[in-house]
Amino acid sequence: MAIHTTAIIDPQAELADSVQVGPYAVIGAGVTLKDRVVIGAHAVVTGPTIVGEGSHLSHHTVIGEDPQDKKYQGEPTRLIIGKDNVFREFSTANRGTLQGGGQTVIGDGNLFMAYSHVAHDCVVGDHCVFANCASLAGHVEIQDYAVLGGLTGIHQFTRVGRCAMIGGGGMVAQDVPPFTIAQGDRARLFGLNIVGLRRCGYRLPAITALRNAYRELFHQGTPLRIALEQVREVYAEVPPVTELVAFIESSRRGVCRSAGSEPNPES
């Protein structure tokens, strides 16, 4: 264990032997730092918070603070962070509230760039990217491999689907379906995230099926309920299309509308 002499470690914190803590960092009571966690200079981690193996908190990050919610009355809640996450300088993540289940959960292998923020009761999947100043309000769900561009904002109780991308400056007030690109204020859909699909290993047949399904759902003028039934029947054997349909059907806030342009094959 390598702990700088100026760091402040609460006796009730639990640190694995391989943890590194930089100058003037503060580790509070109820914090658990797993193997190979690195805490940068002036970082603050308060608890109850668990930081998973191999995660790196850069200098001046603040992780595990009280939720920024007027309804919060000091009840015990927690933040759970998976392994191999990177929080760059001045990024923040808050604990949950009892109204939201009591915890904020972040998966594995995510990158949170400078000044990004994860609010109370959010759920972030695996291998997501939050560009600079990307911010989540409370109770947001970000699914695996999603990318949030710089200066994006996600409204409370909104979902961003798997492999979706939010363009820089996007203000998202409704769910963004998986595999799509959204941008603007309020965000609209601009086709499929072809680059993200390829990075996730999807091949041409699946991408073609998704493109056809997207066109039928958002560009044919058919009522969405009917279009969903038609797409489900035609592409019942194509898993990414059935995932897209299930996501839309389970939406409680509604999904972002299309910007009106055809999907761009090179998006």
pLDDT score, position 266 = 40
Q: Which fold has domain 2-139?
A: UDP N-Acetylglucosamine Acyltransferase; domain 1 (2.160.10)
CATH number at 197-249: 1.20.1180
List pLDDT tens digits, range 3-36: 999 999 999 999 999 999 999 999 999 999 999 9
Same fold, 2-139 and 197-249: no
The burial of 251, by beta-carbon neighbours within 10 Å (0-12 exposed, 13-18 middle, 19 or more buried), is given as: middle
pLDDT band (50, 70, 90) for residue 262? very low
Degrees, nearest 5: CA angle 129-134-138? 105
How far is the C-alpha of 98 from the C-alpha of 75, rounded, in Å? 7
Q: Does residue 127 surpass a pLDDT of 80?
A: yes
Task: Kindly name the residue from 22, 28, 42, 121 that is annotated as catalytic.
Answer: 121
Rounded to an integer, the average pLDDT of 107-129 is 98
What is the pLDDT, as a whole number, of residue 1?
A: 75
Q: Is 138 part of the annotated catalytic residue set? A: yes
> Rounded to whole angstroms, what are the CA distances from 238 to 118, 165, 205, 234?
33, 21, 9, 9
Active-site entry in 42, 120, 127, 155: 120
The Cα–Cα gap between 216 and 249 comes to 15
Confidence of residue 265 (pLDDT cuts 50, 70, 90): very low
The reported pLDDT for the residue numbered 85 is 98
pLDDT tens per residue, range 213-257: 999 999 988 999 999 999 999 999 999 999 999 999 999 999 999
Q: What is the pLDDT of residue 99?
A: 77
Q: In the predicted model, is pLDDT for residue 261 greater than 80?
A: no
120 in catalytic set: yes
Answer yes or no: 121 catalytic: yes
| Model pLDDT, residue 57 | 98
Whole-angstrom distance between the N-terminal and C-terminal Cα of the chain? Answer: 46
User: pLDDT for 35-85, tens place per residue?
Assistant: 999 999 999 999 899 999 999 999 999 999 999 999 999 999 999 999 999
The pLDDT mean for the chain works out to 95
Q: What is the pLDDT of residue 101?
A: 80
For range 118-146, the mean pLDDT: 98
**Confidence (pTM):** 0.94
What is the pLDDT, as a whole number, of residue 229?
96
pLDDT of residue 232: 95
Output the pLDDT for position 260. 75
Give the active site residue among 30, 82, 96, 138. 138
- The residue extents of the domains of the chain are 2-139, 197-249
pLDDT at 263 over 70: no
Q: Is 93 exposed, middle or buried (0-12, 13-18, 19+ CB in 10 A)?
A: buried
Query: Of 117, 200, 194, nearest to 153 (Cα)?
Result: 117
Q: Are 63 and 51 in contact (CB under 8 A)?
A: yes
The phi and psi torsions of 247 (rounded to 5 degrees) equal: -60, -50
